[in-house]
């Protein structure tokens, strides 16, 4: 199995066997969780794409490009997926859209500043992107349809490679985690190409790693699976960062083709539905 598959499978086993059951008031379901879970993979050796079950590739590819566009209107994204439609406000925007917060929400373009800063100061430890807005997110403010789950990440350059550490306050492990890990590893690869570097370590740290009770059976099925899948190598096209910022839909197709040609997952696990709530 790939390094990501091994770590992910062990995380699912640990939650099922050692986790704590907690009622989720927004969904009415029970979540079984463990606090403080970290997955760590070398993207240069194998892209963290789950192969123990099939996941939809274009969803996380298109979503990550939409983030880099800095949009909070999902119209562009809807040509590939409508996964953000449940979080639309009355004006048709997503209030907690990650890319909008990276590029506009705090009065500065954090992403462009990160690229410029690391170009000038590759040894810097200041390359931090923030998504969580403490002026109105959480802490009893429950009126929003969505709050950021991956709420901050840090980029470091070391050994000629770009490393990304993603911090997630809450992760649905059966549906959200594989999607988020692949998406932010793709972002890491795009940033690395923009800065003329190779991708390095991707670290995925979760404060509340949980499985919903209606996914327990699927989780048991997953940890019984074995799959001898070859490592997956993603080479992003030259100029991907600028093309993503410009909303180049063809870039989605090119990245999909690169991954899909190598991706030979086991069959999907049927019957898993996303639980939509503020979590």
Indicate the fold that domain 37-208+229-260 takes in CATH: Thymidylate Synthase; Chain A (3.30.572)
Instruction: Express as a percent the part of the chain with pLDDT over 90.
Output: 87
The residue that leads in pLDDT, 256 or 138, is 256
How does pLDDT run across 184-219, given as a tens digit for each residue? 999 999 999 999 999 999 999 999 999 999 999 999
Confidence of residue 276 (pLDDT cuts 50, 70, 90): low
Token digits for 22? Answer: 């907690």
The residue length of the chain stands at 279
Average pLDDT over residues 20-32: 90
Average pLDDT over the chain, rounded to an integer: 95
Predicted pLDDT at 140: 79
Active-site entry in 37, 149, 197, 278: 149
Cα 133 from chain centre: 19
Q: What pTM does this model have?
A: 0.96
Question: Which ranges of the chain would DSSP assign to H, the alpha helix?
Answer: 3-18, 57-69, 98-100, 110-120, 176-194, 216-223, 240-245, 249-260
Q: Which residue has tokens 């379901």?
A: 29
Tell me which of 66-80, 163-177, 208-222, 265-279 is least confident. Answer: 265-279
Task: Clarify whether 177 is annotated catalytic.
Answer: no
The Cα 98–Cα 273 span in angstroms is 23
* SS3 at position 235: coil
Domains of the chain, residue spans:
37-208+229-260
């Amino acid at each position: 199995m790939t390094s990501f598959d091994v770590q992910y499978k062990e995380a699912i086993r640990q939650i099922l066997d050692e986790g704590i059951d907690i009622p989720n008031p927004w969904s009415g379901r029970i979540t079984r969780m463990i606090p403080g879970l970290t997955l760590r993979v070398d993207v240069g050796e194998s892209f963290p794409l789950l192969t123990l079950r099939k996941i939809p590739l274009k969803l996380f590819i298109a979503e990550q490009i939409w983030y880099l566009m800095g949009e909070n209107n999902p119209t562009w994204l809807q040509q590939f997926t409508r996964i953000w439609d449940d979080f639309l406000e009355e004006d048709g925007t997503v209030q907690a859209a990650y890319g909008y917060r990276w590029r506009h929400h705090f009065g500065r373009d954090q992403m462009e500043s990160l690229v410029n800063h690391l170009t000038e100061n590759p040894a810097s430890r200041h390359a931090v992107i923030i998504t969580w807005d403490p002026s109105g997110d959480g802490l009893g403010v429950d009126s929003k349809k969505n709050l950021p789950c991956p709420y901050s990440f840090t980029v470091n350059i070391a050994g000629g490679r770009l490393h990304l550490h993603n911090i997630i306050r809450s992760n649905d492990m059966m549906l959200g985690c594989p999607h988020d890990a692949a998406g932010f590893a793709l972002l890491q690869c795009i940033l690395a190409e923009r800065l003329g570097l190779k991708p390095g370590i991707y670290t995925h740290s979760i404060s509340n790693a949980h499985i919903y009770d209606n996914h327990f059976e699927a989780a048991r099925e997953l940890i019984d699976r074995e799959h001898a899948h070859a490592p997956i190598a993603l080479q992003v096209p030259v100029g991907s960062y600028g093309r993503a910022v410009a909303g180049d839909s063809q870039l989605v197709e090119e990245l999909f083709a690169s991954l899909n040609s190598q991706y030979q997952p086991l069959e999907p696990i049927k019957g898993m539905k996303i639980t939509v709530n503020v979590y």
